Amino acid sequence: MKLLTKAEEQIMLTLWKLGLGYLKDIIEAQPEPKPHNNTIATIIKILVEKGFIGIRTHGRVNEYYPLISKEAYTAASLKNMVEGYFSGSFADVVSFMLEQKKLKTEDLELLLEHIKNKK
């Protein structure tokens, strides 16, 4: 799966939240300062070409919807990051987070409990 640019990701986050929407809905949901309408329309066009967004045409107006779930994209992005920066080792990710003091002992205990419940 291709990774998204920050601008593309912002549009996808909006569309994942909306579920589906017209260009005006996507524009309205953008945080301030809002990009220009043409910029958003161009990014949507790129996302359609990349296979991230589908289109339903209603007369002369397009309705957009995500073709890829947020969960699927998150999993692919995380896998790409772990492979690129941690040689594919999720254990190394956890060790790094502990060393950087980004993961608390309580978080680690919850993670271990979650792992035990999955077995």
pLDDT in tens, 20-45: 999 999 999 998 998 999 999 999 99
Report the 10 Å Cβ neighbour count for 47.
Answer: 23
For 114, the domain range is 70-118
| Residue of 37, 10, 9, 39 whose CA lies nearest to 24 | 37
Distances (CA, A) of 57 to 28, 51, 64: 20, 17, 9
Contact between 4 and 52 (Cβ < 8 Å): yes
Most confident of 29-38, 48-57, 75-84: 48-57
Residues 58 and 91 in one domain: no
- CA dist 19 and 16 (Å) reads 5
- CA dist 53 and 43 (Å) reads 11
Task: Return the half-sphere exposure (C-beta side, CA atoms, 13 A cut-off) of residue 68.
Answer: 20
At 103 the pLDDT is 80
From the CA atom positions of the chain, what is the Rg in Å? 18
The model's pTM: 0.81
Q: In percent, how much of the chain has pLDDT > 90?
A: 67
Residue 42: inside a domain, yes or no? yes
Residue 1: inside a domain, yes or no? no
Residue 85: inside a domain, yes or no? yes
- The pLDDT of residue 74 is above 80: yes
Our count of domains for the chain comes to 2
Residues 83 and 114 in one domain: yes
